[in-house]
Structure 1
Amino acid sequence: MYIFQKCYEHKQYKNGLKFAKQILSNPKFHEHGETLVMKGLILNCLGRKEEAYEHVKRGLRNDLQSHVCWHVYGLLQRSDKNYDEAITCYKNALKRDRDNIQILRDLSLLQIQMRDLEGYRCSVLEAKGELFLALGRTSDAAKIYRELLQRNPENRSYYGALEKALQPSTVDERLRIYQEIREKFPKAILPQRIPLDFLSGKQFEQAVDAYLQVSLTKGVPPLFVDLKPLFKDKEKVQAIERLVMGYCDSLKQTGKFHDTEDSPVQPASSLLWVYYFLAQLFDYLSQSTKALHYIDAAIEHTPTLIELFVVKGKIYKHARDLTSAYKCLEEAQGLDTADRYVNSKCAKYMLRAGLIKEAEEICSKFTREGVPAMENLNEMQCMWFQNECAQAYRKLAKYGEALKKCHEIDRVLLQILPSCFNIGGLVKECYISFGQHFSEILEDQFDFHTYCLRKLTLRSYVGLLRLEDVLRSHEFYFRAARCAIEVYLHLHDHPLTEENGIDRIDLVVYKRAFA
């Protein structure tokens, strides 16, 4: 991107288009999102607006998580004086890179231009609130955070800062803060949810009862995930289980959450979400039989809801029935073939069941046409897939393929581990040609050292350096290293022979490595 930016800033548009053509002519990168949007930006400068928008929209579709794509789309909107659209694009870019000085500068200029002082003032107020707290001026800080809550009552950080400013000494005082906010914003969720963290006993039961009823009536799928942090407290788990089991019985008999006159009749979907919640709760409590009972009841109630089959698959996975788990996800994937999340989850469960070829076929629905899915996933550095593949091959005793996947994740495993177990020749001859993602990420630093200092993006630069310093503590690297170590230990303790098979590892090379 540095080359394109240089061409754009110095108005070397022909050179920029030349570089874009070189990259996009490569079959591996002909749909590279950031290259497409930069080409579109240059085309816009040349007055070719239709082509520009076509390239930028195409690039954005291919990489929705790129701050560069959103930023460039905002620049195009700004050039056409669509300032509101440009502000929206800049905000989306900041969601992906919130410390980017250039995007912040462009956004602030547009907000001033449009006199969007509220949006501009929000950042200023947040900074003032933090400073007041640091200086011990709690009353001033409280005013600031109350004003911020007027703008956004769903920002959890504001509540934490307001509590620091008001310094409540008892649970009742703390609860009163949230009750006051709830009266002003009755539809806000956080003033109802946060007190559940610190309330206990009867107070907790009353509060969670009201919270559960509202969520189950609306049909909020992530309700269980929302309440999961409370399950560290056994009393709270028991209270929630008791309440929801009561809802289940009462809904089946009377259609209400509680069998009382003042309790309103609920829609038929409320019982579905109660079944759904109970299935997840009992799965969390390792009571698989009960969990399956309630998820089956939910599927019988509404057999077309994808989330039910996903949860059923999770229950089977936790019960170590991997075959049934992947079949549930396969059924969910069949209900909506365009859902990437369900597709990825299905592939993951297939790999854990040892169905590597089938998982590759599932993933091929969302990889580039004309390129083998495994190759395309490696290009995109899809490390969760490679890790799962490595584990699957290891369990199937295909040690060569397992090591191949581990070394695709990082070549340091290639350099260090084999020497520890005296099988360096084996790995060096077999796997040196494969990509190594973490090493590539580390080497990419070279492109940023001079660029960040020249552009004075020092906060982002320090963040990058800190990330690179702990890069190999990432979960994906740890899992790949662990898998490789387990394979090497097994090969060291149980050398492969012609009789027991060697899984794609040339026997001559293997014997030479151990000679």
Structure 2
Amino acid sequence: MPQPLNPKDQSLFRQVVRNFELKQYKKGIKTADQVLKKNPNHGDTQAMKALILSHLGQSEEAFALGKEALRNDMKSHITWHVYGLLYRQEKNYEEAIKAYRFALRIEPESAPIQRDLALLQMQMRDFQGYITSRTAMLQAHPALRQNWTALAIAHHLSGDLEEAEKVLTTYEETLKGTPSVSNMEHSEATLYKNTIIAETGNLERALEHLEKYGYRCTDVLAVMEMKADYLLRLGRKSEAEQAYTALLERNPENSIYYDGLIKAKGVAEDDHKALKALYDEWVEKNPRGDSARRIPLDFLEGEDFKQAVDAYLQRMLKKGVPSLFANIKSLYSNPSKRDVVQALVEGYVAGNAAQANGSSESKDNEFLVSSYYFLAQHYNYELSRDLTKAMEYVDKAIELSPKSVEYQLTKARTWKHYGNTIKAAEEMEKARLLDEKDRYINTKAAKYQLRNNENDKALENMSKFTRNETVGGAMGDLHEMQCVWYLTEDGEAYLRQKKLALALKRFHGVFNIFDTWQEDQFDFHSFSLRKGMIRAYVDMVRWEDRLREHPFYTRMAVSAIKAYLLLHDQPDLAYGPIADGAEGLNDEERKKALKKAKREQQRLEKVEADKREARKAAAANAKSIDGEVKKEDSDPLGNTLVQTKEPLKDAMKFLTPLLNLDSQNIEAQTLGFEVYFRRNKHVLAVKCLAAAHAIDPSNPTLHLQLLQFRKALDTPSEPLDPKIAEVVNAEFEKLFPKSQTLEEFNDSFLTANKNSALHVQAALSGRQFLNKDSATQNEKDLLATLDSVDIMMSEAMAGLDLLNKWGSDKAAYAEKALKKWPESSLFKLD
């Protein structure tokens, strides 16, 4: 039982609780100390003081005091509840749930403990536990609508749609009167119930429910969309036609509504004449609109397409719409349409359409410069690329409009496609200087500088739009603002330079941002119920479940795993890029290189320490946007991360979500093999090989890994456990038949893929792996790949990296590549 306090101290204890709730933390600690001075072993007061300390960032002291509170009063629900709150603060939800359950055993009727337990169960997706908690909360307070709604959500997300609907219906039956039309909570609950009915597949009943109650819902658009969708799926086409017509009258730019209307009218996909007539009707109704003019370009062919695209291009070029090319480039997948567009716009430039585009000189110039800009983008695009012409047209556009940011940006992009990262960064910087208040062009300039490995310049540019007075300066603000694209690009730039400490620091920063997004949902478990935003809440929960499928996570995680693999294979890189290549030196030279690298690392640490010291006074008062005091980063250079003793184990932190949520990503599977193979996890390694083989059996990286794994199985460094060996061999034989030798397998791969540079490189790498004496012939064959007319610059760069991996001379290869791509800076050796 909780220890008794005299009335005065009891009043002080209640004051501690109020201080905590009002975030008056210093007053709370002072008041708690008053109580503890007379009652030093009072567990509840110690627990509340521990909770306040945790909110002040003193987690170690808080946990120590929380444990002492438990020892002093094991039978107090307050001490157990606070102990759970301390774990929740540390994001250790499993332990927090255990503590809450202990608290509930002592005080089963406590609403705050029951609520906190339910929120954590939802966070952990323990739906059965959530159902139990929400049922108990409903029984305790059946008058609160949010308790009914929460229980319905629990059943819905656990997959029991029938029970979810039943809960909502039961609550509706308890209502004495019909809520007012302005009651948004009731409106949302009605639409939520309708979505549940629809998810059961009973669209007829969903439509009946919508028609009966939908007119009272405040989200009119949602009701209209749901009704149109149900009618169409039920085959009631005349009614669906009316419904989609009503939607288009509200928003004639929504292409989904047009698709629905076409299906409702029963117009065949290949009846281009009828489709064009339908869209023309909406052009007349909405003469200023774009969608009804643009969509027909996707299905029209021949002369009809030419006339329609001619009218569309002229209209947009007259207005000088910068996004015109972005709007129609999807047509380029059809070569004939691409050629028509090219011929038309080149005709405009030649003056064939001058009479149709106004008589004043200014309008002629505006049309002409827009046409130049369009052609510059056209010839820059991968499906119609001619960089010489792209540069010619963008220079003409810049000549007519020298202060246009868009034209200068396109010139920088042209240099990027040339492979000249230096010129691209310079031209993008010129574009930035044309409008220094434009955040977009500022970020583009920073990105191009990062692609050119100019990390400091990029950060300087970004600092023009960051709160540099915050803790950590510009970089600290970029972390706080969760600028994922910049941190990823910055990390990749450091990875290219083999500055693994800073690369890992950035990648872990992005990983932590995704963790924050995962944790941010916690507050919405209660907020959304209070506000009645149920449908949006359910969508958010489902989105959070697939969060790490996001392309930004995949890209960052792939780079982080590569960094850890590099660190495992070359541990000396922990001391900096100067140690790179030290394996080719003798012992004395290697020691000198390492010593130099360590000195540089120490110098950078001192510089960073001086910066921290200079910011110390400001940092004491520095706060984030939400007012929370932020601590200075104790490891800004990432040296703690890079000094890890188990890089492969650390890589698993990034790899596991990739394999679980993005299993169709072949790069994730091949990287998974690399990690598991190095960790001697043969069963998991062959599982990754099988998954990669199912995605693309001819993948070049997979081919090399199959050779590597087969050789490892044939000549193991250590014998495998017989049971493991049996499973691995049985699975691997499906991918690599025993009837083929390693050399035969590699040769057949080369023969089957001799027209692909990347596949040839993989086969040559396999030959090098199997026979070191073939190095000279491999170098000649690799050089010959540059004669292919189809080889891309990125593929040629992969060949250069391959020579570097072999330890071969790169001069001849680089010289030949430079002749093929003379404008590129990628093949210029230092």
For Structure 1 versus Structure 2, the TM-score category normalised by the shorter chain is 0.5 to 0.7
512 and 16 in structure 1: CA distance in 2 versus 1, 3 angstrom threshold:
closer
Counterpart for residue 412 of structure 2 = 313
Counterpart for residue 105 of structure 1 = 184
Counterpart for residue 179 of structure 1 = 280
Counterpart for residue 447 of structure 1 = 523
The alpha-carbon deviation at position 468 of structure 1 amounts to 2.0
Counterpart for residue 379 of structure 2 = 282
Q: Which of 478, 482, 492 is matched with 1:377 structurally?
A: 478
164 and 513 in structure 1: CA distance in 2 versus 1, 3 angstrom threshold:
closer
The alpha-carbon deviation at position 400 of structure 1 amounts to 1.1
Say if 2:235 is the partner of 1:160.
no
Say if 2:392 is the partner of 1:293.
yes
Say if 2:548 is the partner of 1:472.
yes
Q: Does the Cα contact within 8 Å between 2:379 and 2:390 map onto a contact in 1?
A: yes
Counterpart for residue 368 of structure 2 = 271
Q: Which of 489, 502, 507 is matched with 1:388 structurally?
A: 489
**CA distance in structure 2 between the partners assigned to 1:331 and 1:162 by the alignment:** 48
What residue ranges of structure 1 are gaps of 5+ in the alignment? 1-11, 27-102, 110-116, 411-435
Q: Does the Cα contact within 8 Å between 2:247 and 2:257 map onto a contact in 1?
A: yes
The alpha-carbon deviation at position 381 of structure 1 amounts to 1.4
464 and 145 in structure 1: CA distance in 2 versus 1, 3 angstrom threshold:
closer
**CA distance in structure 2 between the partners assigned to 1:313 and 1:104 by the alignment:** 54
Say if 2:558 is the partner of 1:482.
yes
Match for 1:131: what amino acid?
Y
**CA distance in structure 2 between the partners assigned to 1:139 and 1:201 by the alignment:** 32
Q: Does the Cα contact within 8 Å between 1:247 and 1:257 map onto a contact in 2?
A: no
203 and 448 in structure 1: CA distance in 2 versus 1, 3 angstrom threshold:
same
Mark the structure with the bigger radius of gyration.
2
Match for 2:487: what amino acid?
Q
Q: Does the Cα contact within 8 Å between 1:250 and 1:257 map onto a contact in 2?
A: no
Match for 2:539: what amino acid?
G
Say if 2:444 is the partner of 1:359.
no
The alpha-carbon deviation at position 377 of structure 1 amounts to 0.5
Match for 1:441: what amino acid?
W
Match for 1:199: what amino acid?
L
Match for 1:105: what amino acid?
M
- Quote the sequence identity (%): 40
Q: Which of 219, 228, 234 is matched with 1:129 structurally?
A: 228
Match for 1:283: what amino acid?
N
Q: Which moved more, 1:264-273 or 1:210-219?
A: 264-273
**CA distance in structure 1 between the partners assigned to 2:309 and 2:645 by the alignment:** 67
Using structure 2 for the length normalisation, give the TM-score. 0.43
246 and 446 in structure 1: CA distance in 2 versus 1, 3 angstrom threshold:
same
Using structure 1 for the length normalisation, give the TM-score. 0.67
2:571 is paired with a residue whose SS is coil
Q: Does the Cα contact within 8 Å between 1:391 and 1:402 map onto a contact in 2?
A: yes
Q: Residues 325-363 of structure 1, C-alpha deviation per residue, up to 9 Å, x if partnerless? A: 111221111111111111111111111111111111111
What residue ranges of structure 2 are gaps of 5+ in the alignment? 1-17, 26-51, 57-181, 189-215, 573-578, 580-590, 602-637, 648-830
1:381 is paired with a residue whose SS is coil
Say if 2:285 is the partner of 1:206.
no
Say if 2:570 is the partner of 1:494.
yes
The alpha-carbon deviation at position 506 of structure 1 amounts to 6.7
**CA distance in structure 2 between the partners assigned to 1:220 and 1:295 by the alignment:** 16
1:243 is paired with a residue whose SS is helix
Match for 2:408: what amino acid?
F
203 and 447 in structure 1: CA distance in 2 versus 1, 3 angstrom threshold:
same
The alpha-carbon deviation at position 299 of structure 1 amounts to 0.3
1:268 is paired with a residue whose SS is helix
Q: Does the Cα contact within 8 Å between 2:501 and 2:639 map onto a contact in 1?
A: no
The alpha-carbon deviation at position 469 of structure 1 amounts to 1.7
Match for 2:553: what amino acid?
Y
The alpha-carbon deviation at position 368 of structure 1 amounts to 0.8
Q: Residues 277-323 of structure 1, C-alpha deviation per residue, up to 9 Å, x if partnerless? A: 00000000231111011000100011011111111111111222111
Counterpart for residue 433 of structure 2 = 334
168 and 231 in structure 1: CA distance in 2 versus 1, 3 angstrom threshold:
same
The alpha-carbon deviation at position 241 of structure 1 amounts to 0.5
The alpha-carbon deviation at position 453 of structure 1 amounts to 4.8
Q: Which moved more, 1:279-288 or 1:151-160?
A: 151-160
Q: Does the Cα contact within 8 Å between 2:325 and 2:374 map onto a contact in 1?
A: yes
The alpha-carbon deviation at position 486 of structure 1 amounts to 1.7
